[in-house]
Structure 1
Amino acid sequence: MSIYVREQEGLFHLQSEGMSYILQIRDGLPVHLYWGGRLEERESLDGLSVKTPEGAGLDRLPQEYPQYGSGDFRIPAYQAELTDGTRVTELRYQGYRILRGKPALAGLPAVYTEREEEADTLELDLADAYCGLRVTLVYTVFADRNAVVRSARLKNEGGADLRLLRALSASIDFADGDDLEMIYLSGSWSREAVINRRPLRQGGTRIDSKRGVSSHQLNPFAALVREGATESAGDVYGFSLVYSGGFEAEAERDAFGSVRMAIGLNSFDFSWLLKTGEEFQTPEAVMVYSGEGLGGMSRIYHRLYRTRLCRGEYRDKERPILVNNWEATYFNFDADKLVSIAEEGSKLGIELFVLDDGWFGKRDSDNSSLGDWFEDRRKLPNGLADVAERVNALGLKFGLWFEPEMISPDSELYRKHPDWCLHVPGRRRSEARWQLVLDYTRKEVRDYIYDSMAAIFNNVPIAYVKWDMNRNLTEIGSAELPAERQGETAHRYVLGLYELLERITADFPQILFESCSSGGARFDPGMLYYMPQTWTSDDTDGVERLKIQYGTSLVYPVSSIGAHVSAVPNHQVGRITPLDFRGDVAMSGNFGYELDLTQFTDEEKEVVKRQVEAYKEVRSLVQQGDLYRLKSPFEGNETAWMFVTPDKREALVYHFRVMAVPHPPLSSLKLQGLDPSLEYRVTPGRSGESALHGGDRLMRVGLGLSYPQYDYQSGWFKLTAE
């Protein structure tokens, strides 16, 4: 049992292998006492009791799910409007339940257990006697993972309608927050996952997305860290929302140094009509504690998301090495050209060919045909099945690109169903990339997309699907929803997407689905539940990818990070980097190519062949190993990371130097995650002789590095215990 209850004291102690989370019922309110390194369960937990100044009221009380309107003036976790227009509620504790394992969330992706003994779940019931609002706070703690997973269910048990204006997933007060800093990921298209770190001053520090997707601009993740915490040391508290739509995360520091951290659905432009007897389920927030710095936090998230969020046949499988035709041909291709790229790939050991955009409708550019999911017989006279069979005959599997959430005004579908897009009657329909967004709140729209895709899957040997989504939501309204429910449209869109993904991935489990949204605009845990990998960024430049992949790895496992070698000059930034450099960066994720292999010289093909052979030897370690970040691209000219097996007997180290340094000093790289008592055979990936080194020496003294005096140098080393 991971949850201890002292009923007389109203105290609940959630305990994992290395963490404790403690709360107490005080005057009918759940009050936060402690979250951090593991405390043993003893009769006395001295020092944890909440002491607030006499007469201070709720504004000084560290709470678990705070409300507004009765004395707490900080950000609330929820807000409900009554039929009389008032917005004051007071939740009071009613009781608790402890469940073995972890219940699923209705209609939402969630972390799961495979055996009941992996976790325990605490449910606390709170209620407002006046209006009948009942809120159940749900906490799951894993026995061997330092994570608490939180969500809330809000139910109307009164006699009149309620309207939810705010319903966050988790809120927590740090009474000792005066030294906390906030870390989060920001960016834009082609520049995702920039790591930001800032101290928390009095007032609020907020990140959010109002775009209808989790967004390029800000990811639904934040961490609070103690001042001085580093990659490998210090207290870190991670907050990750399992959701793919608009979100908010805010840390508010008050005048007394306490910090309230809250995360959940974005309450901007949100309302939800809750009729008598109806219930609203929030997405869940995965909260991780690490006493071993940011790296320790990341490894907890990686293991949890890789094995207890991702699902399906490919969860634990090695992912195939692919070649995608997009940057090779864009829209200009025919069947023979596609097969010629696949043929070259087969000679080099590549395992999967992916046909990207342009195969359907009359799609010669990105201004038409989205929604018309039937083959363009001008380009493919014998259809997709013919191309797939020819590719399969070469020994490669066949994959296909879709953008199923979009509709082009210039399409047969739009001419037939102009009301099927998100829109507001009488308002203009804002186009982005010459496209509109399908209204996934409508079942007939989801059914049409399912039937269109299923017709292809049932007739073409598809092994992989790249599911793209290339614009944000505007004119967020639905023709099917009544006026009083229009504020629900954005969330209902996401719920409709999840319903479709659940259906299609369950019916076609043999297909490896990869999420994409102009690169990383929807790189979030919600999508990983249905698709175990994501196209990380449309920027494939090796130098830019160092930062993008490093930042993304702060919370997301390497097995989810799609990484490809593309041609030079790079199509996004025009940079020319060596093929070895680009390959080493891409081999640090789910490896592939996005270029025309038929245009390579014989020398370049030999390099590709070696890269493919090398990745096949190490991909299980890259995709399933523990990641240790050694040098940050945000802090200097060098980047380094390494992958270590759980038993610490094998490791793989990558090191990158962007610009040459004149007359450089001697360089060494201190490793992490090894067993100091073991001897490791260190073998360079491309050239040089192997040598035997102790794990203690490699971590305390380091691994010597030497490069030619050129820009864009990289190398890798395989370590094997003897």
Structure 2
Amino acid sequence: MIKIDDDLISLETENTGYYLGKRGNLWETLHYGAKIHPDRLALTEKIDSGYGTDVVYREDMGKDALLHLSLDLSPTHKGDYRQTALDVTLANGSSVCDWTFVSAQINEGTWQSEELPFAHEAEQHLVMTYTGTGGLQVDLVYSVFPEADVITRRMILTNAGQVSVILNRALSYQLDLPNYGYQLSTFTGAWAPERHESVRDLTNGRHAFGSSTGTSSHYCNPFFMIYQEDATEETGAVYGFNLIYSGNHFGQVEVGPYQKMRVMAGIQDDGFSWTLEPGQSFESPEAMLTFSKAGKNGMSQNCHNFVKHHIVSKNWASKERPILLNNWEATYFDFNQRKLLKLAKEAKEVGIELFVLDDGWFGQRNSDTDGLGDYDVNLKKLPSGLAGLAKQINKIGLDFGIWIEPEMVSVKSKLYQEHPDWAVSAPGIEPSLGRHQLVLDLCRPEVQDYIIEQINQLLSSANISYVKWDMNRHLSDIFSPSLSNQGQFYHSWVKGLYRILREIMAKHPDILFEGCSNGGNRFDLGMLCYFPQIWTSDNTDVYERMKIQTGTSYGYPQSTMSCHVSDVPNHQTLRNSPIESRFDVASFGILGYELDVTKLPSADKKILQAQIAYYKEHRKLLQFGSFYRLLSPFKMAEQTRWLVVAEDKGQAVLMDAIGRSQPNQESLPVRLPYLEVDYLYDICNRQEQLDIRQFGSLMNAALPVKVNHQGLAVHVVADHYRMTLEKENYQAYGDLLAHAGIKLNQAFTATGFSDKTRLMPDYGARLYDIIKK
């Protein structure tokens, strides 16, 4: 709800409040955090005699110096020596800019953008208008999403003057908060270890982070959070921030000299320069702000609800996603129609619902050195074409999906030979390759039109129900002949991509699109407005996925994370891990398989059947339940615990997992603080199985006869039979689960063994069903 009461503006959600007070020609941020009964006098900054080196802003505002004020919009070079969200060069070369408040208007519903993705179904939005030096006008737009406890911000600049101006920095917001000694968590990484939590103390100075790769990037995700040092997953004050944007981004927290902290984020200003001609407007991406006093899990719940209800399209927001088999790690480029159909038949037998044909089905695409851009079917591999293959896959009983990479082009392709100028490159300089490919110039409307036409024709050519949309390199050699100011390249390129996605999605609303970019290189709210799920990482190693999925969960719900069970040794780490553990971790997301099911031992096929049956039974809960982190692999000696809880708290699933097994170590009690404290719950683990070869020569300590643990007989038996693991059953009230916790069976310690022993080797895991009686 938004209210304007003379010199006080209140923007409130169910549990948070954002309050602004008028101060001369500006507005002061009085408070953002827990919802309160605001009193302007109590919340206003008191400056009666000023401070030693102050530059007094305006005579009619007494001793006010901007450096002491909490401002949503700062005049530049007028005494606010903190970095500001807006930096402009005027026609006369000056960058001094002052602002005067004009009006505040409350509007119902969502503020919609024609060029950028935006959050839908806002309750209300507020537009605060300022006029400034050189004929500039600034509109600050605040949208309120009450049930998600989210407020979004964006800034729109309009040149109402007679001459052009240059935008050097135009962020989505700045937010000044009292400095209570916060910590900052960003989510950083690289290809294969994406979104690991990085924590730093917010000491005096500027703490900047972001991306300059052309995408939101795996180097630093746009999501970040700020919290007081004593905040935990369950308690404490936590702020979360994100951008609805997929390009270069910038975030910064500046701790100033006077007990204030300025938070800012938006388009990366390094390499950015935007010419704003008379009459033109520039719109920044929409930014998400949230607060919770219920700890990091409380803040994450706000983010998850916002994504599920206001970012993902209505078509897919609550629609259960199919279990798929992707052929990539089973075949790579080496496949034909016969091999694919054999995979599909085996997939159907274990319960898979969707068969996905990955890279290599088009043009001369027999390796990653050529063929991108030529989406005509390779009839040597697929003699009946995509339509024929899809028909046969459907006949088996599976839906059919494909992989594409429309934003890229290979030098060895018909498209490049016909339109070499469509590839991004700077005049007179040989372009650098990434993954043997170049980037198409999406700044150019004719390139956008070509991709839209090509992909629409492709998707209409066969019964395709799923598309994996990939992007496998960063941008480089940036230059577009369509631009007079090359500082506009990155943002123009992203806007071109968004236009392509809008038009294709509008024509194919029933196709499930999954985003991918070198794995999780473009995992952001902007892409989630078009793709309801994103390939979380190319790294499917179970140990790494515990960390990647934990880090991702701080800002994004599990319903957006595509998670696959792949073969071992893992293709990214060469690590071996139990197949049951791989499923347990992957089940906390959109489940898929990426292995050669035709070569699995019969015992593993039975395990897959049981896994898939379990997932189908719990699919709605696992995909859309409320997700909580109980133990983090970043903090608790490589132990991970996740919990998903149904909306009515009548059902939940717990995952308990370890990284590297520690000898002779007790497990912490399992505390479950997110259930109904007054109800009785049944808790039992999913029955799992273990390969007896895990014991090696130790099996001879239990068998009545000695065997060669590496011999043929053991391998034959193990391929057909697996050892059923311990069963645990408990009944406990929610208060016990919340405050004391269950002490699980003892793990294997080499001092004894019984049918109650928890066999938890390296990267072991268990799932527990929790049902209210």
Fold shared by both chains (TM-score > 0.5): yes
Question: Structure 1 stretch 130-139 or stretch 308-317: which is displaced more?
Answer: 308-317
Q: Work out whether residues 106 and 281 of structure 1, in 8 Å CA contact, stay in contact via their aligned partners in 2.
A: no
Indicate whether 1:720 and 2:771 are aligned. Answer: yes
Give the aligned partner of residue 102 of structure 2: 94
How far apart are residue 325 of structure 1 and its match?
0.5
TM-score (norm. length: structure 1): 0.96
How far apart are residue 144 of structure 1 and its match?
2.3
Give the aligned partner of residue 710 of structure 1: 761
How far apart are residue 680 of structure 1 and its match?
1.2
CA distance in 1, matches of 2:325, 2:380: 23
2:8 is matched with which residue: 11, 22, 26? 11
1:7-86 equivalence runs, <5 A: 7=6, 10-40=7-37, 44-52=39-47, 54-55=49-50, 56=54, 57-86=65-94
Q: Work out whether residues 621 and 644 of structure 2, in 8 Å CA contact, stay in contact via their aligned partners in 1.
A: yes
Give the aligned partner of residue 670 of structure 1: 671
Give the aligned partner of residue 652 of structure 2: 651
CA distance in 2, matches of 1:546, 1:665: 20
1:8-407 equivalence runs, <5 A: 10-40=7-37, 44-52=39-47, 54-55=49-50, 56=54, 57-113=65-121, 119-128=123-132, 130-174=133-177, 176-407=178-409
How far apart are residue 53 of structure 1 and its match?
6.0
CA distance in 2, matches of 1:680, 1:239: 36
Give the aligned partner of residue 708 of structure 2: none
How far apart are residue 69 of structure 1 and its match?
1.2
Give the aligned partner of residue 565 of structure 1: 565
For 1:22, the aligned partner's letter is Y
How far apart are residue 446 of structure 1 and its match?
1.4
Q: Work out whether residues 2 and 10 of structure 2, in 8 Å CA contact, stay in contact via their aligned partners in 1.
A: yes
CA distance in 2, matches of 1:527, 1:534: 8
Q: Deviations over 1:570-594 (max 9, x none)?
A: 0101000010010101111110101
* Helix, strand or coil at the partner of 2:608: helix
Q: Work out whether residues 68 and 74 of structure 1, in 8 Å CA contact, stay in contact via their aligned partners in 2.
A: no
How far apart are residue 70 of structure 1 and its match?
1.3
For 2:42, the aligned partner's letter is G
Q: Deviations over 1:369-409 (max 9, x none)?
A: 11011111121122111211111111110010000000111
For 1:354, the aligned partner's letter is V
For 1:157, the aligned partner's letter is A
Q: Which has the larger radius of gyration?
A: 2
Q: Work out whether residues 150 and 169 of structure 1, in 8 Å CA contact, stay in contact via their aligned partners in 2.
A: yes
Percent identical among aligned pairs is: 39
Q: Deviations over 1:414-456 (max 9, x none)?
A: 0100000122211221111111100111111111112221222
* Helix, strand or coil at the partner of 1:109: coil
TM-score (norm. length: structure 2): 0.90
Q: Work out whether residues 18 and 145 of structure 1, in 8 Å CA contact, stay in contact via their aligned partners in 2.
A: no
CA distance in 1, matches of 2:562, 2:674: 24
Indicate whether 1:542 and 2:542 are aligned. Answer: yes
How far apart are residue 332 of structure 1 and its match?
0.5
For 2:171, the aligned partner's letter is L
CA distance in 2, matches of 1:222, 1:152: 20
* Helix, strand or coil at the partner of 1:346: helix
Extract unaligned runs of 5+ from structure 2: 55-64, 688-725, 746-757
How far apart are residue 666 of structure 1 and its match?
5.4
Give the RMSD, CA atoms, in angstroms.
Answer: 1.3
CA distance in 2, matches of 1:382, 1:492: 40
CA distance in 1, matches of 2:198, 2:499: 34
Give the aligned partner of residue 752 of structure 2: none
Give the aligned partner of residue 696 of structure 1: 735
Give the aligned partner of residue 707 of structure 2: none
Q: Deviations over 1:290-318 (max 9, x none)?
A: 10111111111101101111004222111
CA distance in 2, matches of 1:613, 1:255: 59
CA distance in 2, matches of 1:653, 1:409: 49
* Helix, strand or coil at the partner of 2:49: coil
Question: Structure 1 stretch 32-41 or stretch 575-584: which is displaced more?
Answer: 32-41
How far apart are residue 223 of structure 1 and its match?
1.1
CA distance in 1, matches of 2:336, 2:525: 37
* Helix, strand or coil at the partner of 1:604: helix
Q: Work out whether residues 219 and 524 of structure 1, in 8 Å CA contact, stay in contact via their aligned partners in 2.
A: yes
Sort the Cα spacing of 1:86 and 1:693 in 2 relative to 1 into closer, same or farther, 3 A. same
The aligned length equals 709
Q: Deviations over 1:510-557 (max 9, x none)?
A: 110000000111000000000000000000000100000000001011
Give the aligned partner of residue 661 of structure 2: 660
Sort the Cα spacing of 1:643 and 1:208 in 2 relative to 1 into closer, same or farther, 3 A. same
How far apart are residue 83 of structure 1 and its match?
1.4
Question: Structure 1 stretch 320-329 or stretch 61-70: which is displaced more?
Answer: 61-70
Q: Work out whether residues 21 and 40 of structure 2, in 8 Å CA contact, stay in contact via their aligned partners in 1.
A: no
Deviant stretches of 4+, over 4 Å? none
For 2:29, the aligned partner's letter is H
Sort the Cα spacing of 1:183 and 1:667 in 2 relative to 1 into closer, same or farther, 3 A. closer
CA distance in 2, matches of 1:658, 1:447: 48
Q: Work out whether residues 17 and 31 of structure 2, in 8 Å CA contact, stay in contact via their aligned partners in 1.
A: yes
How far apart are residue 60 of structure 1 and its match?
1.7
Q: Work out whether residues 111 and 143 of structure 2, in 8 Å CA contact, stay in contact via their aligned partners in 1.
A: no
How far apart are residue 145 of structure 1 and its match?
2.5
Sort the Cα spacing of 1:709 and 1:649 in 2 relative to 1 into closer, same or farther, 3 A. closer
CA distance in 2, matches of 1:63, 1:273: 26
Q: Work out whether residues 626 and 646 of structure 1, in 8 Å CA contact, stay in contact via their aligned partners in 2.
A: yes
Extract unaligned runs of 5+ from structure 1: none
Sort the Cα spacing of 1:676 and 1:272 in 2 relative to 1 into closer, same or farther, 3 A. same
Q: Work out whether residues 149 and 285 of structure 1, in 8 Å CA contact, stay in contact via their aligned partners in 2.
A: yes
Sort the Cα spacing of 1:258 and 1:460 in 2 relative to 1 into closer, same or farther, 3 A. same
Give the aligned partner of residue 612 of structure 1: 612
* Helix, strand or coil at the partner of 2:736: helix
Q: Deviations over 1:191-239 (max 9, x none)?
A: 0011011111111101111111001100011111112111111111111
